[in-house]
């Protein structure tokens, strides 16, 4: 590749090219163009994955590309794409990609906290957070927990160094007022990180709500095909992000170039997928509303959901996950088995609908009959009919 092609394709470390979009471009336009380099004659629109453990490096070892654990041109384009969606027009925001959502979460938590610090974690968040909790405690960090709903975190903020928010929470779909919590945390000198996995950057932009970090598992709806693991951290504070980058280098929790490229390719359809999946999720929630065997129905887009008011103030889309409870574990298992176009599988956000009895893992404080359903891109009528049929067939 010629010098000019290399420059054109990837730019240089730490810089983000202007996407050159029309002012006010919509989410679909921004998604299909996110992170694309300036066009270079005879080069593909999205350059292919760069498989390299090391790069030619005569003389002084200066970047942008030296060693494959530190930087990779395929990551650069993906990081630019995610940054453009998480923080449109905010050139100072830096984005780093990771091997998984947990790698991204760990990079923030373990790079920002020291022995003697205090951190506030959600008590109802993703089920691997208790592992993080225990690890932090073993390092002499005080861990406080609070539920996501009703901004309960305010009670335990004094003296904390970091507030970790997961909104909407997984699997309970509670929502907190991010802007209000950020203001309270910043007034006390605490940093704020928001797990934006469930919303995706098209559903919520935590950095615009004042957060210091937007962190997510790209394994879910961001990439949306259930075939790769990925994570990212977007942050505006250069010093804090330098520590996150350093952590990535130390731990080496980096995505493979193929995964990074697949993720970038998938982001082109993010708006299509999100709009379809989220609209069907609302239709499904409405269809479940009022079913006698369904209790605890949650979807932040439902006007009477306890999360709806706050969600509608800070979210642009409400996600593709619906949760509800069936009368017993046996009924929930029968229901899952009766579904035909919904796979019994964990995770969420993919184009193929999945559902699971969340209690089978033992990590969430949910009833035995609690179902987390992730709505895919099937025809809405087919999906709703399948769910209602499965409910009817397993009534006795």
Ligand X SMILES: Cc1ncc(COP(=O)(O)O)c(C=O)c1O
Residue 232, helix vs strand vs coil: strand
For CA atoms 148, 149, 154, 156, the dihedral sign is negative
Strand (E) or helix (H) holding 277: helix 270-288
Report the C-alpha gap between 53 and 37 in whole angstroms.
22
**Closer CB to ligand X, residue 100 or residue 307?**
100
**219: closest CA among 315, 32, 348, 127?**
348
Q: How far is the CB of 75 from ligand X (least distance, A)?
A: 16
Non-local CB neighbours of 38 within 8 Å, separated by 6+ positions: 8, 17
DSSP state of 312: H
Beta bridge partners of 216: 232
Q: How far is the CB of 323 from ligand X (least distance, A)?
A: 12
**Closer CB to ligand X, residue 204 or residue 394?**
204
Query: In this structure, are residues 200 and 374 in contact, taking their beta carbons and an 8 Å threshold?
Result: no
**Closer CB to ligand X, residue 222 or residue 384?**
222
Binding site for ligand X (CB under 6 A): 100-102, 126, 166, 170, 195, 197-198, 217, 219, 229, 231, 347
* C-alpha distances out from residue 69 to 2, 80, 242, Å: 24, 18, 15
Strand (E) or helix (H) holding 216: strand 213-217
Report the C-alpha gap between 350 and 203 in whole angstroms.
16
Q: How far is the CB of 86 from ligand X (least distance, A)?
A: 15
**Closer CB to ligand X, residue 126 or residue 213?**
126
Q: How far is the CB of 132 from ligand X (least distance, A)?
A: 10
**Closer CB to ligand X, residue 197 or residue 307?**
197
Q: Where does residue 103 fall: left (phi above 0), alpha (psi -120 to 50 degrees), or beta otherwise?
A: alpha
**Closer CB to ligand X, residue 37 or residue 101?**
101
Non-local CB neighbours of 239 within 8 Å, separated by 6+ positions: none
Q: How far is the CB of 234 from ligand X (least distance, A)?
A: 15
Neighbours of 159 (CB within 10 A): 12
Query: In this structure, are residues 166 and 195 in contact, taking their beta carbons and an 8 Å threshold?
Result: yes
Query: In this structure, are residues 97 and 78 in contact, taking their beta carbons and an 8 Å threshold?
Result: yes
Q: How far is the CB of 226 from ligand X (least distance, A)?
A: 11
Q: How far is the CB of 346 from ligand X (least distance, A)?
A: 8
Beta strand 231-235 with 94-98: parallel, antiparallel or unpaired? Answer: antiparallel
Query: In this structure, are residues 359 and 390 in contact, taking their beta carbons and an 8 Å threshold?
Result: no
Beta bridge partners of 374: 321, 354
Report the C-alpha gap between 341 and 203 in whole angstroms.
26
Residue nearest to ligand X (CB): 101
**Closer CB to ligand X, residue 10 or residue 110?**
110
**Closer CB to ligand X, residue 129 or residue 157?**
129
**Closer CB to ligand X, residue 202 or residue 287?**
202
Q: How far is the CB of 166 from ligand X (least distance, A)?
A: 6
**Closer CB to ligand X, residue 76 or residue 197?**
197
């Amino acid at each position: 590749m010629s010098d000019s092609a290399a420059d054109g394709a990837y730019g240089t470390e730490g810089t983000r090219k202007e996407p050159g979009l029309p002012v006010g471009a919509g989410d679909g336009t921004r998604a299909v163009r996110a992170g694309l380099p300036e066009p270079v004659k005879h080069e593909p629109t999205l350059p292919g994955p760069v498989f390299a453990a090391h790069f030619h490096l005569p003389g002084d070892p200066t970047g942008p590309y030296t060693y494959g654990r530190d930087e990779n041109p395929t990551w650069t384009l993906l990081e630019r794409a995610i940054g453009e969606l998480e923080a449109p027009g905010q050139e100072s925001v830096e984005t780093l990609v990771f091997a998984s959502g947990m790698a991204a979460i760990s990079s923030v938590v373990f790079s920002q906290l020291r022995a003697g610090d205090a951190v506030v974690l959600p008590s109802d968040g993703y089920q691997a957070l208790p592992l993080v909790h225990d690890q932090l405690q073993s390092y002499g960090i005080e861990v406080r927990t609070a539920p996501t709903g009703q901004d309960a975190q305010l009670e335990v903020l004094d003296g904390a160094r970091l507030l970790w928010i997961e909104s909407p929470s997984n699997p309970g779909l509670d929502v907190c007022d991010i802007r209000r919590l950020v203001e309270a945390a910043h007034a006390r000198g605490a940093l704020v990180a928001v797990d934006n996995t469930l919303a995706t950057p098209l559903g919520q932009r935590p950095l615009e709500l004042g957060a210091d970090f937007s962190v997510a598992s790209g394994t879910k709806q961001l990439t949306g095909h259930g075939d790769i693991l990925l994570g990212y951290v977007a942050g505006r504070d250069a010093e804090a992000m330098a520590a996150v980058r350093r952590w990535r280098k130390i731990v080496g929790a980096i995505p493979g170039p193929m995964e990074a490229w697949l993720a970038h390719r998938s982001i082109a359809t993010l708006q299509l997928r999100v709009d379809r999946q989220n609209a069907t999720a609302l239709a499904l929630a409405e269809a479940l509303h009022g079913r006698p065997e369904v209790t605890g129905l949650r979807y932040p887009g439902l006007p009477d959901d306890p999360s709806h008011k706050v969600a509608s103030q800070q979210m642009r889309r409400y996600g593709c996950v619906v949760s509800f409870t069936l009368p017993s574990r046996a009924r929930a298992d029968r229901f899952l088995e009766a579904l035909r176009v919904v796979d019994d599988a964990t995770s969420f956000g993919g184009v193929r609908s999945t559902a699971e009895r969340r209690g089978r893992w033992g990590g969430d404080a949910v009833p035995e009959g609690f179902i987390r359903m992730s709505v895919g891109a099937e025809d809405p009528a087919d999906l709703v009919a399948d769910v209602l049929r499965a409910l009817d067939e397993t009534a006795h």
